Amino acid sequence: MCLVGRVGNTPMSGSFADGFARSRAGDWARKAQGMLAGFPDGAAGRAAGLIVACYEGGGKVLACGNGGSAMEAQHLVAELVGKFERDRASLPALALHHNPASLTAIANDYGYDNAFAHQVDALGSPGDVLVAISTSGDSENTVRAVLTAREKGVVTVGYLGGNGRGGRLGDLVDVPVFLDAQDTATVQVGHLVLTHAICGLVEEALFPNKAVFLDRDGTLIVNRHYGSDPEKIELLGGVVEGLLKLREAGYKLVLVSNQSGVARGYFDELAVARMHDRLQRMLDPHGAALDGLEYCPHHPEGITHPYAIECACRKPAPGMLRRAARKHGVNLSASWMVGDIEADIEAGHRAGVRSVLVGPEESPVPPDYRATDFTDAALHILESSAETHGTSEQSTAGLGS
């Protein structure tokens, strides 16, 4: 909001806008600057490390706080469930004030002091993390949430304020992070930076890999109409060399293939497995075997139970890419899709990866690059990777322990 201007028909006082207000506005910025100069990197790293371990163990993050701290809880959850800086698989997280019906019911029946504790009791499991946010460290409902978390084997992180103590929560949580300031507003600035630091570290630790997602028929092997005979697999020119170069550049190689022949009753999943086994045995002697194989056996107009359904994995849907990204810890923002038809390009686009179209087909969804063959596709990815190296694909920072 601009302070310089008019209020109604009266010009705003010049002395207010240029003198007092300007000086006071700067006060808050300077306080934030002073607090951030002592930002607790070590504690932030330890908090991120706990959250990484929680997700690696299949856990979830719960977060709670009041007022501005409730919004910070929600902010943290949004970055984890959605994304921070990387397109990647989503991470489970929940802000405990997000359901007004639960919150008001519990507060009405058990008192507001139990509004969060009751939910930690319901939702928390051993190995989860509770992020308790309180600038004073003394909010009763947040303290009680932490006490319940401890009882349930839920690990606790505290977003706290200064004075070196962080109130009662400072002594209760497993990892207290103190933002050293005397006033609530400045502590809250620190909490915002802490959320971003934690989310950045968590993403880098859990999604360090880049991948090339590969269509099968017409991209890696000669396209035969609903091919299912392993003996007839024929690798396309340049595929082995291209895969090797991509692997050497650090890319995970993951097949993502529509196999609606299963739903249509032309062959079964065992036949798909035999095809992929043969494909791997052809690539393996060259050191070019694939790191992952995903396929979709579905089609809504199929005839075979249970495959005759609409699904989230058949390209152009991005389900197979997202599933593989979760399995292989893939940063989708640094990854690529290579395919020979529009469905491949659209699936890549929807998953948040860049795409290369190989072969003669047209694609109304424009690819990032149009390649004459697989060699050209691999070369383009390697050249782009060299250009972005050191910016979007930096190495993972240490998380502390």
Which residues form the interface with Zn ion (CB under 5 A)?
296, 298, 311, 313-314
Radius of gyration of the chain (CA): 27
CB of 368 to Zn ion, least distance (A): 25
Cβ 352 to Zn ion shortest distance, Å: 19
Cis check for the bond before 92: say yes or no (omega within 30 of 0).
Answer: no
Nearer to Zn ion, 157 or 296 (CB): 296
Position 370, amino acid: R
We find the least distance from the C-beta atom of residue 323 to Zn ion, in angstroms, to be: 10
Closest separation in Å from C-beta 320 to Zn ion: 8
Contact 63, 145 (CB under 8 A): no
- Pick between residue 311 and residue 379 the one whose CB is nearest to Zn ion: 311
Could you give phi then psi for residue 90, rounded to 5 degrees? -80, 160
Residue 261 C-beta: closest distance to Zn ion, Å: 13
**Residue among 191 and 323 whose Cβ is closer to Zn ion:** 323
How far is 341 from 337, CA to CA, in rounded Å?
11
* Per-position DSSP letters for 3-47, written without gaps between them: -SSEETTEEPPHHIIIIIHHHHHHHHHHHHHHHHHT--HHHHHHH
* 158: three-class secondary structure by DSSP: strand
Residue among 129 and 313 whose Cβ is closer to Zn ion = 313
Q: Which is nearer to Zn ion, 263 or 290 (CB)?
A: 263
Comparing CB distances to Zn ion, the nearer of 296 and 338 is 296
Residue 298: CB minimum distance to Zn ion, A = 3
> Which runs of consecutive H residues, i.e. helices, occur in 16-135?
21-37, 41-56, 68-81, 100-110, 117-123
